[in-house]
Structure 1
């Protein structure tokens, strides 16, 4: 039994990994803390103080870091990190700790003061830039004392983003050298962006091709994104507004991916060469806009999901490969090469962020995306230049073809001119011959014209006589029409007619409207609004508009036909039938005669009966013509 307990103790001891003490001597100018150099403690309550975590109760609760770099896997928790450094002798050179990830919101360092106590200092992306130890994009903490022996350093970290906790110990000389080199590299990178932008702006102004404008917007978005994630933008553009750090990289990343896809469409002529891929790109642009608006107005924490940019990056890369490989479009080869380097830089960056970059040099892993963007910009410029060369070559070829065609046209013109000269001579001779013949014919025609003039004089006399007879006939026709109308009116007033006979008197809407207008304004027009007596025609035939107040009175207004829903000539006939039968005709009979639904006839018949009762005295003794007295709502005085 004791043997098995001994074995278990041995195995558990082998499975433990103790924190490694980092030894620093005067020859070491820089040390990056990795793996078991760092112990960590997760504070899910965010309430632990420095005195609590340095007490004996928490001494054994720190865990050895299992990753290449420590991470804050639970972003709602605070993390405490502990490192141990052993100096072989008192160091005379000033040193400091540096944290690389510029998106870290809050870092608090506890540095031994040499007297058994600790000095606290704070940094982070949530604080204004001027509160940092140095005017540098990273976070630095000064080591106050570096005496011989072992020292323990504590760091408290809290961040809404998932960050790599990269801790570096550097001497001041090394820090200055590194910083100068780094900022010189940034100057080179952003300087190239400015140069590329200015060059393409000149090209856009020269040739007015939209692809240059989209390329400028794309590389400016790249520059703003790189400045945002590197901390350069915070340092130089909004040092007193740290809240903008939470939006800047997300906004610039949206414009970067959007303008990248638009530039891809424009450069590779995707709409013409690959319409289906063009539709897919438009869909992705639309979805990316929706996601951007959700991040901007609903939850800006979603800006952290940068991995979605893999989708537009892959689509642009695939589009370039397809158009180059399948459609043999030569400028796409540089486009594909540029996106290959960007794609590779993106993959290396993801590997570096996930902590799997053990065998990748630190600078390459950290700046892989920047290198990818730089190479992509170079090769995209080559792609644009290659496109311009191809267009120039086509233009030169077209110019040569035009010159050649102009030469052919000139030769053809000379040949045609010669043929035309010969034909003109022949035609001139023919015309002269024809002229002689025409002269002889003209003499004959003149003789014939004299005969025709005599005949025309006789015809004019006959025409005058015919015209006089037509005038007499026209007067007879007018009299005949008037007689027919009088007979029809008399017949209407004398007997009960069927609808076809009645329609001869009132065949259409205009004849009915004219009858109503004559009745309404028999004694003159007076505006019902302002009592003005002057009017002009309205928008509808037979309406009258007041010239003073512009009120337009309908011909149906103030008649029983106002708001009428059946044809006006049928409404006339219905009134006529009701009056002729003295209201005794049934609605069924009316429906049969007029061809309107019985229910509608009943409504109208009821209305007319009521009016007939009200105007019994007015229509008494009027005969068959009395039906027209029912039309107006009130009989004018």
Structure 2
């Protein structure tokens, strides 16, 4: 018994399902029908997963039962990798007597093929879509229109093949040509009003930016232009008028315009509401969101443009702007934020209504027109209230400026009163001070007389002092001459002593105390017969980088004062090297390196090396230094 009940339920379910599959509601059209939108059971669909079905196969009896009833108010292509066939059934109750069209609304649909029967029952193919250039359309309109080939009385099946990378609402509408013309004109007038408002807002704020140079006006212009570009891309107006021969740009238009819309919206929010000052944490969140949005945009642009379809992500920056406005209005009591909040309230409301319309629920409580254009209305109201917010901010700034001006005027009045009081006090003090000055002047006059007598005495004394100064000056000149002669005699005595006897290093250092004195001695000896460049033989020179070096004025070669002397490549202090040569010469090369090290204060090994070098030179120049006395050590210095 239970098995029979189950079998009957199964048979009933199969029968009911089959009835749902093949059942399709017929749409009756007569001469009074100007427009009809196909919804629900008036549309059946077939999913072509491999996208290889032809119209002959689809309209054949084998595929008629494979069409399923539409489960949504408007059909959608849930599987974006497949093609979808849609079928509508129309009954003309009488000959229409006028032309009519079938129109598709969603402008982002990539490819639409319409198969409409003619008077002979043959299906005529027409195609349209966002992937085709605009001039290939039958009607130069932003939507997709297909002309009905016959208006005779009877029942007709219309087939439509739809492919799209994005999920679209397949909104199919029957319209008479007269109705289409009236509707299109009204719609384009509305577009002209909407985009005209965008141009007016942009131009007005451009003038404001040029006048006051506030960045918020510039970002508002960029935001409004981004809104306009997004709406033009969504409505198909941009494709129609901006790039009609480049349909590939339709793949980027939405994503690019949405990126600029959300980015400039966030930046404008920061500038208008002074978020950096009033809410630093929210400002950090906004900056972070801008960076994330930029990264996502670049990934979509260069990696996968298919990700541009996730438009619902723009609800995040929209919500953040809305929250920022509420916070600054509620917490910071910033007046212009109230208009900002109202603008984003209407934009959010338009966004929600648009979603409801896409889901097909807008017909329950609002009209299709309001639902379809809700986001545009929201943007328009938002722009109006944002303009109010900017104007309110300007009004507040003007009021602050006026208050500041009044405060300045008031302060200037106070300053003037203070100035008058001070001047009066100063005048009184001047009178008192004048009397004091007159009294002091009389006293000073008496003192001046006394000072004049004293000056006469000083003049006489100064004359005497001048004579004494002249005598002292004459004596100083004589003393200076004596000092010069004395100094010269001391120098000669010292040189004679150095050359005459062996002296210790301290006494030797009086003659050659430092590097400069040694270099000067070498220079005088080396070039006592005149300078000649060793490279080019030029006789003109200038000072080199190192003191006492000489640089050729012709070839710029700089010759070191140590070059071609026994001290070339010297690594010990030059005055000690002088003393070492002096000792070696006085002892005729017989002094030991240990003794040299003790007297000069240099390591024994270094003294041995230098002593060997000097001893070799002495042997080579025995004839030259023979009979030179104690001063012959200087003849060992210059190499021959």
Same fold (TM over 0.5): yes
1:128 to 127, 133, 148: 133
Q: Distance in 2 between the 1:94 and 1:281 partners? A: 55
Where does residue 455 of structure 2 map in the other structure? Answer: 449
Tell me by how many angstroms 1:6 deviates.
Answer: 2.0
Alignment of 1:27-66 (within 5 A): 27-66=32-71
Tell me by how many angstroms 1:520 deviates.
Answer: 7.7
CA RMSD in angstroms comes to 4.3
Where does residue 106 of structure 2 map in the other structure? Answer: 101
Distance 1:488 1:358, change over 3 A: farther
2:326 to 321, 324, 339: 321
Q: Distance in 1 between the 2:38 and 2:562 partners? A: 97
Is the counterpart of residue 430 in structure 1 residue 447 in structure 2?
Answer: no
Distance 1:233 1:449, change over 3 A: same
Q: Distance in 2 between the 1:207 and 1:617 partners? A: 95
Alignment of 1:201-350 (within 5 A): 201-350=206-355
Is the counterpart of residue 373 in structure 1 residue 375 in structure 2?
Answer: no
Distance 1:572 1:121, change over 3 A: farther
1:200 to 185, 205, 220: 205
Q: Deviations along 1:78-97, whole A, 9 cap, x unmatched?
A: 22222222333333232211
3-state SS, counterpart of residue 349 of structure 1: helix
Where does residue 80 of structure 1 map in the other structure? Answer: 85
Tell me by how many angstroms 1:627 deviates.
Answer: 8.5
Tell me by how many angstroms 1:174 deviates.
Answer: 2.0
Where does residue 91 of structure 1 map in the other structure? Answer: 96
Is the counterpart of residue 416 in structure 1 residue 418 in structure 2?
Answer: no
Q: Deviations along 1:110-133, whole A, 9 cap, x unmatched?
A: 111232321001111122212211
Q: Distance in 1 between the 2:11 and 2:108 partners? A: 43
Deviates more, 1:384-393 or 1:325-334: 384-393
3-state SS, counterpart of residue 395 of structure 1: helix
- The answer to whether the Cα contact below 8 Å between 1:129 and 1:240 also exists between their aligned partners in 2 is yes
- The answer to whether the Cα contact below 8 Å between 1:324 and 1:333 also exists between their aligned partners in 2 is yes
Tell me by how many angstroms 1:381 deviates.
Answer: 0.9
Q: Deviations along 1:433-463, whole A, 9 cap, x unmatched?
A: 1111011111111122222223333444444
Name stretches of at least 5 consecutive residues in structure 1 with no aligned partner: 630-634
Is the counterpart of residue 440 in structure 1 residue 446 in structure 2?
Answer: yes
TM-score, length of structure 1 as denominator length: 0.82
Tell me by how many angstroms 1:212 deviates.
Answer: 2.1
TM-score, length of structure 2 as denominator length: 0.82
Where does residue 632 of structure 1 map in the other structure? Answer: none
Deviates more, 1:176-185 or 1:21-30: 21-30
3-state SS, counterpart of residue 70 of structure 1: coil
Q: Distance in 1 between the 2:42 and 2:615 partners? A: 114
Deviates more, 1:63-72 or 1:510-519: 510-519
- The answer to whether the Cα contact below 8 Å between 1:96 and 1:171 also exists between their aligned partners in 2 is yes
Q: Deviations along 1:31-51, whole A, 9 cap, x unmatched?
A: 222333333333333333323
- The answer to whether the Cα contact below 8 Å between 1:543 and 1:552 also exists between their aligned partners in 2 is no
Tell me by how many angstroms 1:525 deviates.
Answer: 5.8
Where does residue 26 of structure 2 map in the other structure? Answer: 22
Q: Distance in 2 between the 1:287 and 1:627 partners? A: 83
- Greater Rg, structure 1 or structure 2? 2
Deviates more, 1:399-408 or 1:475-484: 475-484
Distance 1:327 1:462, change over 3 A: farther
Q: Deviations along 1:125-162, whole A, 9 cap, x unmatched?
A: 12221221112100111111243333222212222222
Tell me by how many angstroms 1:393 deviates.
Answer: 1.7
Where does residue 628 of structure 2 map in the other structure? Answer: none
Tell me by how many angstroms 1:374 deviates.
Answer: 0.3
Where does residue 177 of structure 2 map in the other structure? Answer: 172
Where does residue 10 of structure 1 map in the other structure? Answer: 12
Name stretches of at least 5 consecutive residues in structure 2 with no aligned partner: 626-631
Distance 1:218 1:453, change over 3 A: same
Count of aligned positions: 616
- The answer to whether the Cα contact below 8 Å between 2:220 and 2:264 also exists between their aligned partners in 1 is yes
Q: Deviations along 1:497-528, whole A, 9 cap, x unmatched?
A: 59x997995757x7787778778877666667
Where does residue 629 of structure 2 map in the other structure? Answer: none
- The answer to whether the Cα contact below 8 Å between 1:95 and 1:169 also exists between their aligned partners in 2 is yes
Deviates more, 1:373-382 or 1:53-62: 53-62
Is the counterpart of residue 118 in structure 1 residue 123 in structure 2?
Answer: yes
Tell me by how many angstroms 1:322 deviates.
Answer: 2.0
Q: Distance in 1 between the 2:566 and 2:348 partners? A: 81
Q: Distance in 1 between the 2:117 and 2:567 partners? A: 101
- The answer to whether the Cα contact below 8 Å between 1:68 and 1:358 also exists between their aligned partners in 2 is no
